[in-house]
Amino acid sequence: MRNSRKFSKRMLREAGQGYTFMFPVIFTLGLFVIGPILYAIYLSFNDVQLLGGTSYEFVGLENFKEIFSDYRAQVSLKNTIFYVAIVVPSQTILALVLAATLNAGLKGQKFFRIVYFLPTLTSSAVLTLIFMWMYNQNGLINQLLKIVGLPTYNWIGDPAIALKAIMIMNIWATAPFFMVIYLAALQDIPESLYEAAELDGANAIQKFWFITVPYLKPVTSFVVIMGIIGTFQLFDQSYIFSGGDGGPNNSTLTVVLLIYQYAFKSLGTMGYAAALAIALAIVIFVATIIQRKFDKEESLY
Amino acid sequence: MRSFNFKKTLLYVVLCIYAVITLVPFLWALSSSFKTLEEIVRGTISFIPENFTLNNYKEIFVNQELFPRWLLNSVIIGVIGTALNLLFNSMAGYALARLRFPGRKSLFLIILAVLMIPMQVTMIPNYLILKSLGWLDTYHGMIIPAMVNATFIFMMRQFFINFPKELEESAALDGLSRFGIFFRIVLPLAKPALAAQAIFVFMALWNDFMRPLIILSSPEMFTLPLGLNSFKGQFISYWNYIMAASMVFTLPVLVIYMFFNRFFIKGISFTGGK
């Protein structure tokens, strides 16, 4: 009897300590993450007016229905999906190739790794400004293109080019981050696999394709999912590139930029913006699930 | 032997070409920040300024009163935010790894779930919550919602699970309280994990663009990314100023990276990959 009471007292104390240690997290996540998720769902079913106080009017699924008749929502979704479809595979392949090259046991690896990593450290705002400076009409990139005899572009002002200019910049900026993840994984591949392949007469490319790539599959899956989640949320670059309006001619309008505009730039559309945000979360969620399914099926053989 | 050398050379060529691709934008920005406006508009390719000048830096620090203020705001938010994150994420990670209390499992699951929620969902309600608290356009409005981070709570939990228990037990026998054990034994031994966390959290706060864009409205409260963006609008064709400001913005992160490089790589393999 005494023993069990003592025991429960200890348990009680440990529980108290547990909650004390967790308190800042429970408070912050509760007030600024969990609460807001429920609040966002509520907002998405309402018409929200921000004049003076905040007023809500329940409109059911109206906001979600509106997405289908909103021309700019469709453009932004198209831009975003195009962006994801190009950037995710490109940065993944580039990251893998860079990691494999860096892992070949050459001297000066450390130097290259530090250099490659610079863009990952630098803020998106700074990178965007540097690239806007280089993308200038007679900026560095056009000058270089001229020297080698290639056509030059109006990178920032041409609606057919602007989004691609952001793509190039972001592939360049994000690939090194995933390269480091690949590098860590490459170090775990047993050397004996390569030795066995060498005995069988495999060349470097065959070794890469038949040992390295399959071995890295789980990591690739992770890199692709992280890439999908990240690219769907493109905002800073589009915002700075276009001065906030998604131009020229809506060509750099992404879903998140549109959500921002509806929530904070135009009045009376905050509920609709919340609906768009929830729709985006669902799209990202579905995309990652599809990726995983696809990955599993592929690994069956 | 010859083919081996050829392969090596090829690899070096690939590595060097990509190093150039990585470095050119930075070098171009750096050299532009030391050029005169006249040389900038001429648009000739030269990485070495004709008339090396520090005027651009002088302009942003001396004539632009707000620039030092933006720097200060970024430092305040970055440093305080990082310190709170280190403390609270570690406390939570420790509790989730070591202490038994009802609801522990569900809390852990909630933290995992939070990792998957895109911030766009919460940003509109957060704006309204901060507005009703009167926290818009303040330091605490920027810091408090970001003072914990699910990714690093998770990382710290993984770290503490593999942490030897014996030390803590002997400290408890010596009469140290739970808090004493945590602050005097556990935290000092968690330095590598804390260092990795510090770099990532500080960088995220320092580089953040969207949250300050929504929360901060008066130019005196701007952080560097916002300030830089408004700078661009104001000095639309003064790329020499914009590049100088960009360089000032980037330097602190580079310095931190140079010092903590090894933790950095470790941190990425902590959070990502495996």
Supply the ipTM of this predicted assembly: 0.91
Q: Is the pLDDT of residue B267 over 70?
A: no
Average pLDDT over residues A70-87: 97
Residues of chain A in contact with residue B145, where contact means CB-CB under 8 angstroms, are: 28, 31-32
pLDDT value for A295: 77
Q: Is A240 on the interface with B (CB under 8 A)?
A: yes
Contact state of B120 with A259 under an 8 Å Cβ cutoff = yes
Q: What is the DSSP letter of A30?
A: I
Omega prior to B225 cis, within 30 of 0: no
Q: Give me the helices (H) in chain A, please.
A: 2-29, 35-44, 62-69, 71-102, 109-121, 124-135, 140-147, 162-186, 191-199, 204-207, 213-215, 217-232, 236-242, 255-260, 270-298
Q: Is B265 on the interface with A (CB under 8 A)?
A: yes
Would you mind telling me the total number of residues written for chain B in this entry?
274
For chain A, the average pLDDT equals 92
pLDDT value for A4: 57
Q: Is the pLDDT of residue B150 over 90?
A: yes
pLDDT value for B268: 64
Q: Is B246 on the interface with A (CB under 8 A)?
A: yes
Q: Is A129 on the interface with B (CB under 8 A)?
A: yes
Among B67-81, B87-101, B138-152, B250-264, the minimum mean pLDDT is found in B250-264
Average pLDDT over residues B179-194: 90
pLDDT value for B271: 56
pLDDT value for A298: 60
The token duo for B190 is: 């968690």
Contact state of A28 with B178 under an 8 Å Cβ cutoff = no
Question: Which of B12, B121, B236, B268 would best serve as a mutation to test chain A binding (most A beta carbons within 10 A)?
Answer: B121
Among A201-205, A293-297, B179-183, the minimum mean pLDDT is found in A293-297
Question: Which of B12, B14, B18 would best serve as a mutation to test chain A binding (most A beta carbons within 10 A)?
Answer: B18
Q: Is the pLDDT of residue B260 over 80?
A: no
Question: Is the entire prediction scored with pTM above 0.90?
Answer: yes
d(CA A229, nearest CA chain B) in Å: 8
Q: Is the pLDDT of residue A3 over 60?
A: no
Residues of chain B in contact with residue A53, where contact means CB-CB under 8 angstroms, are: none
The token duo for B30 is: 């750096």
The token duo for A128 is: 């965007």
**Taken in order B219, B223, B224, B229, is the CA torsion positive or negative?**
negative
Q: Is A272 on the interface with B (CB under 8 A)?
A: no
Q: Is B25 on the interface with A (CB under 8 A)?
A: yes
